[in-house]
Structure 1
């Protein structure tokens, strides 16, 4: 209920100028003569009691004798003195300056912490310096531009200056003076970041995206501090940048929970600093903000979150498949075997493994090529699909030094997880690494891989995968120019069916094909090279001699003809040496096929027999225990049903796929949604009681006219005094309210009495008040609010803030 202002003497007075309120058809109320009791109060020494708080009280303007009417009465008090004659008290200016410095520092800290949210996109060593520079520089720039004269520039001029400042800073720090590439890098940074595996390499063309976002958060927060009185608004740009960091970092390593807790704590600190009160209360507010951040750290892990967050990388088209080298590694095998002692690279490793070089999964009847979609990567390589949810395999550390290995293919053990010392692109599906440039002698890098652990029983029951990728890996197109009379694929299919007849599982079929090739043909480096249909037919039916190139590609064609998804891998054996140090030569080149099984992924097979006397002549060590166990499981599976193989005439029962246990689906009961809704009600209520009073105060302070702002200041004061017992349903005059406040809260009288005068003048005076009067009214209101807050105590203020009456304006 609005408190009516005091009424003057019954004798009405006509103002000299018409009241604007008469435009609405209502008569202007009579003006209020000055009350002698409301004159400025002085003590016995003649000093103003308001000086106790270090702030000069707003003076009460005496009546002007020249402005009396015929009855000798003064219808309107004289206007307040001009603004330039009112000098603020030194202490108030000092407090405001310190609070402003704290607020700007908080904005810079918020932007820097929000920038650290990109640590799931870039490693902390790359994003950390960028976040600090991009957060501090714009805040310092805004402060330097606006602080000397304590007034802000026009908004358009601030935008121009900050854009120029950003271009200068990013050009000098990230691009080292190359200003010409800033625009193109910024334009392409979004797609480049989304098509790069996380953590992305710390290249300038990628770091420019978080740099500009953090800079935006810093400058927007600083301008909000300098241009507005809102408490939490300067923190919103940093929160928005943190949201972008969360979106781009989906699937990245680490957690952003500490960053979120830091943002909560810094936001709480900023609200405390921006709120009314003495600077001495800021340390206590910071302690409270730290407590809030600590609560956020412990509460974060128990909050309900979505099981599978949205990943924007799924909606961005990856680069198309491309030939990474002009010469396929498969085409180099025959030449390498002709000069077997050429040194390719050395490797220091914790376990000898076959070093993978390239994976070829497309065959057109003539050539094997790769359909991989290589994307840039930092030092982390994503986990294989088959490994998700499974126990980790054996860690294999490797340190490679290139000697004479040509091309861009980077050797590593399967499956690589991290790589340092070399910038690479990677195929996320198979983990194959390629260098952006040709490998050069002396180049060194380190790789950490995870060697798979195979279970013999699980392998024996494995069936081929049937997803889209697996279906593509069974394609066998006829060569161009092939007709029905000279078609070769049916001949391969007929042979494969004879070899795999009687095998009950897909794994046994694959093992039978490998065993057949090991026993039906011999390894011979002088054998005819080539791997098209004609070469493979000649190898299988005539010479039956070849290198691992012919054995692996013949296996892949035979396996595909019976529905086994197969691809070809080119790599090297472990090499010569021991004690963790191996020399890999060109004669150690090896080609092997891999078959895709449901739930297991790609499993390697080794159909190439050992060259006679090779172990004694080459000195190459065998692969590690993992590969030896795999080969033993394959040979065991191939020997189980040999009696039912080709020519036996016995037809085994059709294979039965293993039963898949599907978890029962239970619909979510209604009471779960009811509990969730009930849990949201307190959250919505808390947000409402915290935000609505802030919005209401802002609306009152930014009224359309000075009179509206003065009325809003009085409403805010009345609402504040309710916290110390002012009745809400009693009609009191302005001076009665001022008297209640002066009796209840010490030190408020020098502010309440002048504020009541301003309200009466704004309501009843003939001339409308000016902006200076509105500003003085709100200064009084701010001082009254500080004094009432100290008198009410924290618990009483919190209880009143959370009371439902805070949802509506109290009059």
Structure 2
């Protein structure tokens, strides 16, 4: 019987130096092959290089090598777990458990170093951040404008991604016979990185060539080693000349294919359009914030001046000398009001490292809110990070959105008395006039003004021509000088020259064409910005506070020190502030002089609140309604679908091996139970019992008779029914006739009873491990299958002869 199971051993032909190996020896050699050092070095090195491509792809997202630490850390940990799991023959459950343990143990070092002790030992905050980061880090990364900061927990994404995919890819490369299967998770990791990254690729040429070259070289060498391994390991050590020639031909052919693939890949990448970008999830997610729902801060300019002239709105401490406090930066003119837009950069939730690489004077500034009660966030310079204080700190943080490009922040719930916050900022120095004279205007993207008064272009051109200004700085100075010398100052209050509030197109047109221009910061800042835009100068309006004496570090903001000024973008100096309002003591020569274009008697009461003038013309209103109606789905839908899909995909990837293995075993049991030949259903029941015993770690001799196998299992399990099942199985297979369906059902019931007994005696951990154990799937051999088929045919022939 043993000779029948192992197969006939043929004698070597005459003159041969070694006998042909048996099938058992071939299987042993095949199972030992993956343990060869050169094979392991090749597989692990190839997987490391393949997964290095998505690590490099995270570079633009973090704006530097910051992403390399968590990515490389997760990659090294994942490959180590894959190698250890292969050596110890771990199942999927143990691999998953080891991955989870490594994720939490090393998460403080690679993903959240700012929360760990000495940047290495995880703390309670570290473990909490890692646990929540499995779900929340994807959303946080996608809804934050790149480059993102490490302090906000974004490093969890590359760390978790590379850890999981390195375990899966490394395990497949070391365990499966066809290494090409390992390319699937490697490519999936790269696709996920592209979806989570930015539209600007990091190094497409390097990434594309590296991926193609590594994949082709790896598969080629593995294919070349396969015949050499079988010939050398199982023979006397000599390789036939034909095999060597065949190997040389395969290596040369593969080298040619490699060279062509690398050349085509590199050429296609180099010849691609230079401005072509990728479509990523970040670009299709609509931020859940619309700046257009908030009125411009400029609409309340006259209210602050009139009603809060001596009222402390808020107090700012820690300001560098000469710094100004900003309420809002407005770059979009609608013909009615200068408003804040999100064209330069989107408003995003608060994060760290918002200032980037700005150079200047760093400062920690604290703001205490008094009577101020608006949504616009007072700040100064280039804010890098901001932290609220008090009971409402968390609620205010969640309600705050900030635009680093314009330095404008919005608190959706509004600020109120008692609120306080501290922000870290960088205040660039004011460039000298000599430096500005040698500078050029910067190329910036600003919204096109709408309904600009027709005369402003002509007035601006005349002012520049009169001053004979040729340089960019001289042109700005010419416009500013024209307004300061030709205009007069008035807030339009009781004891001042009459001056309408607002800065709509009609108000500015009347002011610019009058014999005497009369207005305050609101009108002069809007005039200078629009005149500059008409002659091609990038300008925007800023509303905020600054004291006449700029040497102090404390500023109490009131309506008396509220101002508006213009910022112009220069190539080297950046945005530079220009004051264009005439001195407050420069009053009109004739106190009764009224603008000729719109003569009106002096009213008995102060003018109505400027909010009444804030209604936009029908053109702007209709456009915005059309845009709102054209959005068929809410902004949150894309975000929820994207984050939910990524989270569910990650969970599904971790659970997929459990589901797949369980499905394979269930399918195997069903095929055995429903075999077309009744004798095969009996033998299938016995095979099911043996496989379940193997899954529970019970040693079963492969190739032995059923009685021999049952004798060993009886000693191990202390279950006498096993021997009776072996006798009944042999009788059903080799006995006369075919077993009836009742006998088959009874046999399977006994098998299930023995399996249930094994399950009850095992611990919960062993039962879970048995469900995902792969040993019963890999232990079955073609020889055993052939023996069972031969036995079935012999039994069938014997039954027919007896009949």
Into which bin does the TM-score normalised by the smaller protein fall?
Answer: 0.3 to 0.5
Q: Give 1 or 2: higher helix fraction.
A: 2
The TM-score with structure 2 as length reference comes to 0.45
The TM-score with structure 1 as length reference comes to 0.45
